[in-house]
Amino acid sequence: MHHTSLIGSLATAVLFAATTLAHAHGDVKPQPVDTAGLPENGDEWLTENPYRAESAGQDVWLKAVRIGASGYNQNCARCHGLEVVSGGLAPDLRFLEAEEYGDEWFVERFRLGYTQNGTTKMPAFGELLGQDAAWAIRTYIETRPDDAAMDAVSDELKGLRDELAGYANGAGGADADALKARLSEIAGNIETLSGAPVADSVAFRAANLIDGTPAAYKSAAETLTIGLSAAH
Ligand code: HEC
């Protein structure tokens, strides 16, 4: 009895190791992306991102960025890099032009993947994830900030973070409008590498959170803390 269960758990361990190894080599099933709340695009593939703020409005755009971030991290990051900063395993997707030309190339790869001499270098995602997920991921990718621009302002952002954390803990005298304005100004100077007009930087996220309440100061401070530590 004991032997059987020992062999059983050994087999499980070996199977687990094999699965982990397979993961490391890229043989991983696409993870579903929950696109609830985004406008649906049907079955016919578009050639241009429908979730940009110019065409879909700010709310849809923001939602697409959030959904796309999670879809990207689950399906693309292990090859294309965390936060879309490539470690060299696969192309750096931040440079893909945020216009129809870049979009067409993006959906082509997304749908069909890439196979070279019979080896799958990138799996096909099109049928399993569908185009709403594709465009949400696209929206996230094209709004990544230029990390060099982030480096240049990280000291000032740390200072603002400490200020926000103080106000969250009840230190008086916060000027919510001034803080928001300064963060927005910093955010406005951080560009994307894709040419998309607005970068979804931590400064941008923090500025959007501030509404003068202690709870908002707290989440803005946390957003900056997480963003600033992830960058290094
Ligand atoms: C198993 C690794 C792997 C995964 C996972 C992966 N890719 Fe790729 N991807 C690659 C490789 C390798 C290439 C380069 C293929 C080539 O030479 O054109 C590539 C190319 C691309 C390109 C073309 C880039 C260019 O500059 O030409 C796009 C767009 C792309 N991938 C998007 C994605 C998206 C979006 C996801 C997640 C949904 C994803 N990839 C997941 C490995 C991967």
pLDDT tens readout for residues 159-180: 999 999 998 888 777 788 899 9
71, two tokens: 């879809």
> Is ligand 1 within 6 A of the CB of residue 109?
yes
Per-residue model confidence (pLDDT) at position 229: 81
Per-residue model confidence (pLDDT) at position 22: 41
The mean per-residue pLDDT over the stretch 173-199 comes to: 93
Q: 12 pLDDT band (50/70/90 cuts)?
A: very low
pLDDT digits (tens, 9 = 90+) for 58-75: 999 999 999 999 999 999
> Is ligand 1 within 6 A of the CB of residue 91?
yes
Q: Does the structure show a pLDDT above 70 at 33?
A: yes
49, two tokens: 């991102």
CA-proximal residue: ligand 1, atom 15 (nearest) = 114
204, two tokens: 């941008």
Per-residue model confidence (pLDDT) at position 5: 53
pLDDT digits (tens, 9 = 90+) for 101-125: 999 999 999 999 999 999 999 999 9
Of ligand 1's listed atoms, the one at least distance from the Cα of 138 is: 35
Q: Which residue has the higher pLDDT, 173 or 32?
A: 32
Distance CA 16, CA 221 (A): 39
Per-residue model confidence (pLDDT) at position 25: 47
Per-residue model confidence (pLDDT) at position 3: 52
**Sign of the CA dihedral running 213, 189, 104, 112:** negative
Residue whose pair of structure tokens reads 């569908």 in the numeric block: 130
What percent of the chain clears pLDDT 90, i.e. is strictly above it? Answer: 75
Per-residue model confidence (pLDDT) at position 23: 47
Q: Does the structure show a pLDDT above 50 at 34?
A: yes
The angle at the Cα of 17, spanning 11 to 19, to the nearest 5 degrees, equals 100
CA-proximal residue: ligand 1, atom 37 (nearest) = 76
CA-proximal residue: ligand 1, atom 17 (nearest) = 114
Mean pLDDT of all residues belonging to the chain: 88
The angle at the Cα of 203, spanning 197 to 206, to the nearest 5 degrees, equals 115
